[in-house]
Amino acid sequence: MTKVETKVEAENRKFNFRAGDTVKVHFKIIEGTSERIQVFDGVVIGEKGGGQTATFTVRKISSGVGVERIFPLHSPRIAQIDIVKRGKVRRAKIYYLRGLSGKAAKIQDRAKNIAHGNATKKPVEKVANEASAQVKESVAVDTFETK
């Protein structure tokens, strides 16, 4: 394969996930003459290689047993990859998850950037008016109870 073909194919199959992300891999299964899509969802625990031979490993817990599957990144059998959740990890390979169980194996979500307007903000005047109304109500309730 020439460098041009490799570059074009890499641009067409860009996947934006990394270790710690929870993904759903839609994989084509061929059984005889029929073909179906099987979904494997789990946490990406690592990526290996580069170029056409790149692979990634996905781990999930099925009936209390850890199941790992290695997928070729550029396989034509992969119909699509959905990113369910972004995970916050500080390693490229998170093989340490194999030894953890229960809540210890849970991965935190990557923090969202609040500065870009993802959070809903109330106007300052409205917040001040609500606070003063609550104070007036509490004062009125206190004077009523003392009588």
Structure confidence by residue, pLDDT tens digits, 72-114: 988 899 999 999 999 898 989 999 988 888 888 888 888 764 4
Q: Is 81 inside a domain boundary?
A: yes
Give the number of domains in the chain.
1
Q: Is 131 inside a domain boundary?
A: no
CATH code of the domain containing 97: 2.30.30.790
Q: What is the pLDDT of residue 10?
A: 60
Q: Is 16 inside a domain boundary?
A: yes
Contact 22, 73 (CB under 8 A): no
Q: Is 92 inside a domain boundary?
A: yes
The predicted model scores a pTM of: 0.65
Contacts with 42 (C-beta within 8 Å, 6 or more apart), sequence order:
22, 23, 58, 59, 60, 67, 69
Domain with 24, as residue range(s), is: 3-110
- pLDDT single digits (tens) 19-71: 999 999 999 999 999 999 999 999 999 999 888 899 999 999 999 899 999 99
Range with the poorest average pLDDT among 13-22, 78-87, 120-129: 120-129
Q: Is 147 inside a domain boundary?
A: no
Q: Is 128 inside a domain boundary?
A: no
